[in-house]
Chain A
Amino acid sequence: MFWAYVPYMLAGVLWTFALVGGGLGLGFLIGLPIAIGQVYGGRVVKAFLDVYVWFFRGVPLLVLLFLFYWGVFPALGHKLPALEASIIVLGLRSGAYQSQIFRGAIESVGEGQMVAARSLGMSRVSAILHIILPQALRIAIPGWTNEYAILLKDSAICFTLGVLEILTRTRYVVIATGEALLPYITAGFLFIFLTYGGTKVLNVIYEKTRIPGLVWRM
């Protein structure tokens, strides 16, 4: 009977959260510095970062998962558990996408802000920290909300490594009950609710951090 397995499926939400939270968090830590480097870095730095973005945006997620889980991590002498490996791969890839969200945001802040900061005697680093990023991060929230929605659903692919997230558990339930329709519908709705809830929260943050009176010219 399917309904008996619902709590088991719901527990998958926690694992999905771990994948999404870890992936987005790691992606943020990678993506923001990449964006700063791409905007303010020298030619060599930019070229190096371009290669990173080019690679992680170019290779399918499934290939990345297999490559790192079966190939890269064992080669480095650390065969990681599926959850950790998945979070790292999702993070590396999301970092590439997030970097482009942040880059666009930084570039739309306007050159006058940096010039004004420098004219006060701020160093470049200080100007980026106190003037550019507080504005760029606000601008980036809608794009970042999109990244959340995409990463959430991409995380389902981690079933291929046996991470006990929503889809993996759903497949076990299908096997156990011999029933496919209800379990997959349930899984689908779980993702819809998570997408809706998360984007709602981020929209509230966007509204709360809005600069009064300001309309960004992008």
Chain B
Amino acid sequence: MDVVLRAEDIHKSYGKTKVLKGISFEVGRGETKVICGPSGAGKSTLLRCLNLLTRPDKGRVWLEDVELTSPSVNINKMRQRIGFVFQEFNLFNHLTALDNVMIGLTKVKKLPKDEARRIAKEALLTVHITEDLWNKYPAQLSGGQKQRVAIARALAMDPVIILYDEPTSALDPHLIGEVLEVMKELARRKVTGLVVTHEIGFALSVADEIMFMYNGKIVERGPPKEVVFNPKHEVTARFFKRISELYGGRK
């Protein structure tokens, strides 16, 4: 398999608190993998270690054949190729939806404005942000629209992989669907993704693998149906039982 992202024995501590205790996994081209687990398990920290927004204390990360954790790597250059979608959207407040998607293309990739605009519009249409919203500012958009613009911003950079950090956790329940739908479409189009989420329905319908994190470690991994319905570990079983009670079996 063509591995695009590989993490090897990632460790991270804040002070005396060990947040990550040796995480290893790979993501192949076109795959969608889901990381879930209770809060405090280290999921967000792990994602941030993958594009070095947080530097791991130990361990190595590869994007395709480049080792990101090597000191000689130009990390700004590599981050262009790793999309990142935040729980809190983090759209640039002072830019319109269109400019939010364009700015990475013009200021980072140094593309000419016309080309950047063309790519940005295409990305916005991919996430179903229609033309009437292109000139709106983030504060004028709903949460679901904001998150879809944020996905377009990542997508426009033509990334090797997109990392999603709980992309629906800050959304009102009735807006979660539109964001998940876009993510599913991307997954089906074989846009490589690594998704931290509690949305089991999403994992069951498009994920190639679920990795269950607990206390800084991946305690269980496997095909979504296996992990969700036949968990081997007690913590995993308890977690999914609670989630399914909460969501009333939503698939």
Contacts and interface: CB of A to CB of B under 8 A. Distances in A.
A134 B86 contact: no
B84 A119 contact: yes
Interface in B45-65: 51, 53
A124 B166 CA distance: 25
Interface string B71-86: 0000011111110101
A18 to B, nearest CB: 33
B134 interface: no
A120 B153 contact: yes
Contact of B107 (A115, A118, A130): A130
Interface in B70-105: 76-82, 84, 86, 88, 90-94, 103-104
Contacts of B51: 119
Interface string A73-96: 000000000000000000000000
Contacts of A116: 84, 86, 90-92
B48 to A, nearest CB: 9
A105 to B, nearest CB: 13
Contacts of B230: none
Q: Which of B78, B86, B90 has the most chain A CB atoms closer than 10 A to its own CB?
A: B90
A120 to B, nearest CB: 4
Interface string A93-131: 000000000000000010011011111111100100011
Contacts of A211: 93-94, 137, 139
Contacts of A214: 93, 137-139
Contacts, number: 75
Interface string B197-239: 0000000000000000000000000000000000000000000
Contacts of B108: 120-122, 126
Interface of B: 51, 53, 76-82, 84, 86, 88, 90-94, 103-104, 107-108, 136-140, 153, 157
Closest 9 CB pairs of A and B: A213-B139, A121-B80, A116-B90, A119-B84, A112-B90, A214-B139, A213-B140, A120-B104, A121-B79
14 contacts: A113-B90, A116-B84, A116-B90, A117-B92, A118-B79, A120-B108, A121-B79, A121-B80, A122-B76, A126-B108, A135-B93, A212-B140, A213-B136, A214-B137
